Structure 1
Amino acid sequence: MNLHALKLFYIVTEMGSITMAAKELRISQPAVSSQLKKFEKELGLSLFKQEGRGISLTEFGIELAEKARNLFALEQQIELFVEDYRLARRGKLRIAATYLPANFLIPHWAASFKKENEDVELLITTTNSKGAFDRLQQYKADIAVFGGDMPGSHPTTIDAEELYEDELWFVVSPEHKYANQIVSLHQIIQEPFIMREKGSSTRERLFSLCQTYNVQPPMVSLQFNGLHEAIRSVMAGYGANFVSSIVVREYVERGLLARVFVNDIHLTNKIAICVRKTERQSELVKKFIDICKRETLSN
């Protein structure tokens, strides 16, 4: 297969038009069109179909574009690997992380890493667990950091190393009747809850807990897309929240929030760092993981 023509086709699909691709490549539009026609002839299959004034991909073209995206992402990964190996302290490190570590752990880890590796570019993407695993598998990330109920069904192509366990706490305002009290799950669930949107891993853990103990799930009276907004509403004196101790420990220590201790309930989040299995880790990946472990042990 003509890889040059495949890359040309890939750039056209990424840019969304032959005209934009021609500008990106700094060649004429007719030249791009001509090479694409030659590529189709070589393949013996159509890549595009006419739709009104524009063009769109055939079913084969869609699948080929996806495979080309993975191929050229891997090509870029190989180029970065060579550059990293040659220069050791230079390069780019791409991290995909779920909400909890992205907001409450990685900023500190990244700062420590940058102090020792000033010339390394860190690119951090916040996504959900599936997105983090997908980015790692598709070579769009070098490391994935996961915080939550570690799924036993995570991809077999990924190695996940647990860094530590983070407790999940019920919290309320210090003036709340259950502040610093020991209560039953049934009692705390009767309170109105302020939580993140549906799909939040902690919210799902709470509802799963209720199902396990055959307790009616709580009424979510206020729902926010951001965790900080939900916490501040609880601090203002309304409702309860079920949340990672990483998020609220400082507020509890300062007396701005109070824990509610629920009989026989002790849930944790797993904080894990993930890499692709059977692949030699670059020096940059090793350095970042070492710093994550060091910072975790020091806390």
Structure 2
Amino acid sequence: MNLHALRLFHEIALTGSVTRASETLKISQPAITAQVKKLEKELGLVLLKPQGRGVALTDAGETAALLAKRLFAVEQQIEQYARDYASGLNGRIRVAATYLPAHFLMPAWIAMFKRQYEQVEMNIITTNSSEALGKLQQGEADLAIYGGLPEDNPDTIGTEHLFRDELWFVVAPGHRYANRTVKLEDMMREPFVMREEGSSTRARLLSLCRTYNAPSPRIALQFNGLHEAIRAVIAGYGANFVSSLAVREHVERGELCRVNVKDVHLENTIAIWTRKNEPLSAAAQHFIDTIRKSPRLPT
């Protein structure tokens, strides 16, 4: 079908005359009339009929005009969607995030972003660092948010470091080491409440003991979730080695206390991974800009 001719017919139906359609479109009346006649021949329908000095829609023309109106309304919707997508007001963002940022940073970042870009769909996958990297490399994620030890990534991956997150030893307020400075070997004599094997923080603690030639921690209780491990320490049992992001509010409320371990200062890196030499969508770039401006970033 000749969509140009259909558009001319649509304008006649909207304005009610060939003359006004000609003025609106800045196309001569004979040219419009010739195009509409070709359209009628193509469709095998009579769309217009003479009426006084002008024209009117036939019954077939009435129906065709209604369908044309729907068609060009959809066209306008597509054009608007394309403009919104290009400006970042619409679209979809797929984020692969490791446990730490997914649970303690992403909710606030997403809330800030959605207040301004409500129509953008967001899919968040919480996974470990290797799977997050794999999803990014395979195009299954548009960006990844990582928390942990700095990693050497392939040359195809770009890394933007956001900030460093301290790792803290924490105990209940009534613990004998609460708010004290102790040696690492003394701290390792305490029962620890930790996440399951495979936890990156647990691995950091074991590595720390090997580095300083200290006894391995006595992990007396373990949970599959970090929240449960923290609650057990708050309840008064054992110690935990944990991201400051996960327990800062508990410490500020006095539910937990830090233990300063002499000569030990460990940090996680919070970073954004993207694919190099591949432009982000406008929506994804807006999300990264939101993260950069987030007041939750430690100073």
Taking the aligned partners of 1:260 and 1:127, their CA distance within structure 2 comes to: 30
2:176 aligned partner: 177
Taking the aligned partners of 1:95 and 1:297, their CA distance within structure 2 comes to: 19
Residues 129 and 90 (structure 1 numbering): CA distance in 2 closer, same or farther, change over 3 Å? same
Alignment of 1:138-153 (within 5 A): 138-152=138-152
Q: Report the 3-state secondary structure (helix = DSSP H, G, I; strand = E; otherwise coil) of the residue aligned with 1:178.
A: coil
Find out whether 1:96 has 2:106 as its counterpart.
no
Find out whether 1:211 has 2:223 as its counterpart.
no
Find out whether 1:278 has 2:277 as its counterpart.
yes
Conserved 8 A contact 1:148-1:201: yes
Q: Report the 3-state secondary structure (helix = DSSP H, G, I; strand = E; otherwise coil) of the residue aligned with 1:275.
A: strand
Residues 298 and 99 (structure 1 numbering): CA distance in 2 closer, same or farther, change over 3 Å? closer
1:97 alignment partner AA: A
Q: CA deviation at 1:155?
A: 2.6
Residues 298 and 201 (structure 1 numbering): CA distance in 2 closer, same or farther, change over 3 Å? closer
Taking the aligned partners of 2:84 and 2:204, their CA distance within structure 1 comes to: 40
Taking the aligned partners of 1:240 and 1:297, their CA distance within structure 2 comes to: 26
Q: CA deviation at 1:87?
A: 6.0
User: What are the superposed Cα offsets for residues 178-202 of structure 1, whole Å, 9 maximum, x if unpaired?
Assistant: 0000000001011010000111111
1:12 aligned partner: none
Find out whether 1:196 has 2:177 as its counterpart.
no
2:119 aligned partner: 119
2:256 aligned partner: 257
Residues 251 and 216 (structure 1 numbering): CA distance in 2 closer, same or farther, change over 3 Å? same
Find out whether 1:187 has 2:183 as its counterpart.
no
Conserved 8 A contact 1:84-1:282: no
Structure 1 unpaired stretches of 5+: 1-81
Q: Report the 3-state secondary structure (helix = DSSP H, G, I; strand = E; otherwise coil) of the residue aligned with 1:228.
A: helix
Taking the aligned partners of 1:296 and 1:128, their CA distance within structure 2 comes to: 26
Identity of aligned residues (%): 56
Taking the aligned partners of 1:210 and 1:83, their CA distance within structure 2 comes to: 56
Q: CA deviation at 1:88?
A: 3.2
1:137 aligned partner: 137
1:243 aligned partner: 242
Structure 2 unpaired stretches of 5+: 1-81
Conserved 8 A contact 1:166-1:269: yes
2:265 aligned partner: 266
Conserved 8 A contact 1:95-1:123: yes
Taking the aligned partners of 1:253 and 1:297, their CA distance within structure 2 comes to: 15
Residues 161 and 87 (structure 1 numbering): CA distance in 2 closer, same or farther, change over 3 Å? closer
Taking the aligned partners of 2:296 and 2:196, their CA distance within structure 1 comes to: 32
Q: Report the 3-state secondary structure (helix = DSSP H, G, I; strand = E; otherwise coil) of the residue aligned with 2:220.
A: strand
1:7 aligned partner: none
Alignment of 1:31-42 (within 5 A): none
Q: Report the 3-state secondary structure (helix = DSSP H, G, I; strand = E; otherwise coil) of the residue aligned with 1:168.
A: strand
Conserved 8 A contact 1:183-1:262: yes
Conserved 8 A contact 2:194-2:226: yes
1:122 alignment partner AA: M
Conserved 8 A contact 2:86-2:282: no
What's the TM-score, normalizing by structure 2? 0.70
Conserved 8 A contact 2:93-2:283: yes
Conserved 8 A contact 1:163-1:296: no
Taking the aligned partners of 1:218 and 1:118, their CA distance within structure 2 comes to: 47
Q: CA deviation at 1:113?
A: 0.4
User: What are the superposed Cα offsets for residues 188-223 of structure 1, whole Å, 9 maximum, x if unpaired?
Assistant: 011010000111111111100000001121011111
Conserved 8 A contact 1:174-1:255: yes
